[in-house]
Amino acid sequence: MDIKSIVIAGILGAVGGTGASYLLMEKNQAALDDRLAHSPPVVVVDFAAMAMNYPEGATPEEVDRLMTKTNEAVLKLHQAGYLVIDAGAVVAAPDDLYLPEDVIQ
């Protein structure tokens, strides 16, 4: 076998392997994209942290108003298609999934 045959075989093997890998990865990527399209976006709400940020000495009416605003924000997220999870039920999540507290205030 001469060097030319070895180089051609190597090139054909590389092109064939690249093509097969691309087709396999394209199929897997399409499956992931389809699953992502059918999964709702997720937001984690830390109700305990929000309650701790209520002003000190707040009257029961003020606390009730703040809780109502929180519940309204959760309802708006739900209506927008979000999956809303209480942070108390989450073991770990990226910081960008947590609802910022300033959204509710």
C-beta of residue 51 within 8 angstroms of C-beta of residue 105:
no
Give residue for tokens 């984690």: 44
What's this model's pTM, rounded to 2 decimal places?
A: 0.59
The two three-digit tokens of residue 4, written as one number: 């030319």
C-beta of residue 43 within 8 angstroms of C-beta of residue 81:
no
The stretch 23-42 carries a mean pLDDT of 84
Q: How confident is the model at residue 6 (pLDDT cuts 50, 70, 90)?
A: confident
With a CB cutoff of 8 Å and minimum separation 6, the contacts of 74 are 45, 84
What are the structural domain ranges in the chain? Answer: 1-39, 42-103
For position 99, what pLDDT does the model report? 83
pLDDT digits (tens, 9 = 90+) for 59-101: 888 888 888 888 888 899 899 999 999 998 999 988 888 888 7
- CB < 8 Å & 24+ apart, contacts of 58-65: none
C-beta of residue 101 within 8 angstroms of C-beta of residue 50:
yes
For position 104, what pLDDT does the model report? 65
Q: Is the pLDDT of residue 105 over 70?
A: no
pLDDT digits (tens, 9 = 90+) for 41-64: 899 988 888 877 777 888 888 888
For position 44, what pLDDT does the model report? 92
